[in-house]
Amino acid sequence: MTVSRRKFLKIVASSGGALVASGVPLAPQAQARVSTVLPPQATGLLYDATLCVGCKACMVNCKTQNSVPGGALYKSGWPMPPYENGDIKLNNGIWDAPRELSGKTLNIIKVYKNGSAEVKDRAINGYAFFKQQCLHCVSPACVSVCPAGAFRKDPVNGAVYYLADRCIGCRYCQLACPFGVPRYEWDSAWPEVRKCQLCRHRQAEGKIAACAEACPTGATIFGKVLDLREEAKRRQALRPGDEYPFPIQKVGARETTLRPIAHYTDGIYGLVEAGGTQNLMLSGVPFELLGFGRNIAKYDLPRLTWAYIAKIPWVFLGVFVGGTAIYKMTHRNDKEG
Ligand code: SF4
Ligand code: SF4
Ligand code: SF4
């Protein structure tokens, strides 16, 4: 037996709004362990910050292709546009310039600046662009903690996706994600959790991720994770100044742009973090300066969350008590050096 979102809310309401609904068996998917193995056909993105020019074409196409509001030209309020829930208030649906991931923004380009910000991709007196979105963990903590089976991992392409009809609104997924990705639609009467789903609907049609499709420089490319890992390693093995044919849109693409290799900071973000992620990142500026923690656990987090979840006799003992425990487990390294 499974519990739908509507049924769950009915149960909670009939118990006077208390967060206890004892004796309710949950969806079988929630009780399945999360695989720690990368599916051989898994797909993902490689974002190379040294190629990014900050044009935000990736954000616009993400919004267009995933039916989230977007557009340009905020006419009213210029030069300071009115903000609404972290996003610039939309005007004629042509543009927006969100400041954070949100229920309306699944992918965001931000800017790092230091000192005089003269040189691109340099930590001191430099600047850099960087991209935030779901990293599609190989073994996702969000899937492992969802008691309703609303978060799932595609067994073929590995995309971590969300079924709104199953969601009971506990937001364990938000607490469990070590990268702080899932966002809740606080301004909606019937809120859902929103995050990048690796354009799973487009992949089903044989298309690539919309952000990679729109990127003019090849800063964001789509492909099989195993190929993306090799591509990232090849770039890191070259010396600054060497010329390299960077593929555009997808790894191995024939359309390339010949450019000198920039200086890369150590490591490929996503190779080992949280046990590995399907989206990877290269950068000239150390990842920690961009807000990507290097102290994220290097093993799959569900081994911790599952140990906790498995002890719950599948009754709601208290959403907030459980949520706090999950948050502490998946962020246990946050304060370590
Ligand atoms: S980054 Fe967060 S939301 Fe995305 S798959 Fe990993 S745990 Fe889930
Ligand atoms: S993969 Fe799709 S949903 Fe995810 S950030 Fe790119 S365009 Fe947006
Ligand atoms: S489309 Fe490409 S170059 Fe433009 S902001 Fe996005 S990642 Fe950077």
Tens of pLDDT along 279-328?
999 999 999 999 998 778 887 777 666 555 555 544 444 554 555 555 55
Distance 64 CA to ligand 1 centre (A): 22
Distance 105 CA to ligand 1 centre (A): 15
Please provide the average confidence, as pLDDT, over all residues in the chain.
81
DSSP letters of 108-160? EEEEEE-TT--EET-STTEEEEEEES---BSS-HHHHH-TTS-EEE-TTT--E
> Which helix (DSSP H) or strand (DSSP E) does residue 234 occupy?
helix 225-237
Token duo for residue 335: 């304060």
Test site for ligand 1: of 134, 154, 300, most ligand atoms within 8 A of the Cβ: 134
Residues at CB less than 6 angstroms from ligand 2: 62, 65-66, 106-107, 133, 196-199, 209-211
Tens of pLDDT along 128-149?
999 999 999 999 999 999 999 9
CB of residue 221 inside a 6 A radius of ligand 3: no
CB of residue 209 inside a 6 A radius of ligand 3: no
CA atoms within 13 A on the CB side of 279: 24
Tens of pLDDT along 203-240?
999 999 999 999 999 999 999 999 999 999 999 999 99
Q: How far is CA 84 from CA 61, 72, 98, 186, in A?
A: 21, 15, 9, 12
Q: Closest ligand to 135 CA?
A: 1
